[in-house]
Amino acid sequence: MEAIAPPITGTMNDASPPKEVEARVDYLNLPCPIPYEEIHREALMSLKPELFEGMRFDFTKGLNQKFSLSHSVFMGPTEIPSQSSETIKIPTAHYEFGANFIDPKLMLFGRILTDGRVNARIKCDLTENLTLKANAQLTNEPHMSHGMFNFDYKGTDYRTQFQLGNGALFGASYIQSVSPHLSFGGEVFWAGQHRKSGIGYAARYNTDKMVATGQVASTGMIALSYVQKVSQKVSLASDFMYNHMSRDVTASFGYDYILRQCRLRGKIDSNGCVAAFLEERLNMGLNFIISAELDHKKKDYKFGFGLTVGE
């Protein structure tokens, strides 16, 4: 009889997929966080659009690649302080002329209004890591003019800022990345003219899909915000504000929707205020703006429209 060959034995490879190995965090190469004063910027983009009431027209003309001139006309009511619950408005109108100089290391902005106000802003990169920011406003009203200098130092995984202002105002802030997504920071300030001082702490956690922030200060303020990026064009935002001194509590929810030709932002808060802001791109360098805000509690309704010409 023919010999029967023995079966060939061997090991079979496991068909299960290999396990993913988590990437180790290099704590000596963490990302640089955003400035302390901008930790809520994603939420503010949705919840704090530039609302206005009346008519607005903005025109910007570029003279060359670095220098441009701007003209702005605004007509609408202005609210004046009142002890009653009703909102008092008076009709106003003004014209604003501006000049802009934009360079990779130097930016200058100047504005002058028909009511006598003069505004100026400057941003200068002194070194690769140190930036000087300054702004000033001059008015005809006594004790209303002010100026502020801000020195921003950007480290590898931290940022620090120092502020100097009129009225013996001094401030400092520091924010540090402790992981690729988490950063902690703090600030202190002293207002010598009003004899007030304060200290605050903040935390920020951000990923590609969400941003969560929290801030608390010795002045009694507590601020929380959360932004969820649904897609590249849609994001939802919410925030919570609590003032321990005045016992005021406000919660709001907003959205930011970017379409091909327009951008729509809006919010609703716990005080019964509903707002929406629409920017429609009609053509290259031509935008149409609609603004609306309904405050049902105060029975204050604001509507505005505008046109922006130039980039």
Q: Does 298 have pLDDT greater than 90?
A: no
What value does the mean pLDDT of the chain take?
A: 89
Residue 215, pLDDT > 80, answer: yes
Q: What is the structure's pLDDT at 44?
A: 92
pLDDT of residue 34: 93
Tens-digit pLDDT profile for residues 14-49: 455 555 445 677 777 899 999 999 999 999 998 998
The pLDDT confidence band at residue 214, using thresholds 50, 70 and 90, is very high
The model's confidence at residue 221, banded by pLDDT at 50, 70 and 90, is very high
Has residue 218 been placed in a domain?
yes
pLDDT in tens, 123-146: 999 999 999 999 999 998 888 889
Among residues of the chain, what percentage have pLDDT more than 70?
A: 91
The pLDDT of residue 23 is: 66
In a domain, 3, yes or no: no
pLDDT of residue 204: 97
The tens digit of pLDDT for each residue in 222-232 reads: 999 999 999 99
Does residue 30 form part of some domain? no
The total number of structural domains that make up the chain:
1
**pLDDT of amino acid 11:** 47
Q: Is residue 31 part of a domain?
A: no
Instruction: Give the confidence band of 12 by pLDDT, cuts at 50, 70, 90.
Output: very low
Grade residue 2 by pLDDT with cuts at 50, 70 and 90: very low
pLDDT at 88 over 90: no
User: Among the ranges 192-196, 251-255, 298-302, which has the highest mean pLDDT value?
Assistant: 251-255
Mind giving me the DSSP string for the chain? -PPPPPPPP-PPPP-SPPPPPPPPP-TTSPPPPPPGGGTTHHHHHHH------EEEEEEEEESSSSEEEEEEEEEEEEEE--SSSS-EEEEEEEEEEEEEEE-SSEEEEEEEETTS-EEEEEEEESSSSEEEEEEEEE-SSTT--EEEEEEEEE-SSEEEEEEEETTTEEEEEEEEESSSSEEEEEEEEEETTTTEEEEEEEEEEE-SSEEEEEEEETTSEEEEEEEEE-SSSEEEEEEEEEETTTTEEEEEEEEEEE-SSEEEEEEEETTSEEEEEEEEEEETTEEEEEEEEEETTTTEEEEEEEEEE--
Residue 17: inside a domain, yes or no? no
pLDDT tens profile 89-112: 888 999 999 999 999 999 999 999
Q: Residue 149: which domain range?
A: 36-310
Q: Is the pLDDT of residue 57 over 90?
A: yes
In a domain, 295, yes or no: yes
Per residue in 144-176, pLDDT tens? 889 999 999 999 999 999 999 988 899 999 999
Domain CATH for 283: 2.40.160.10
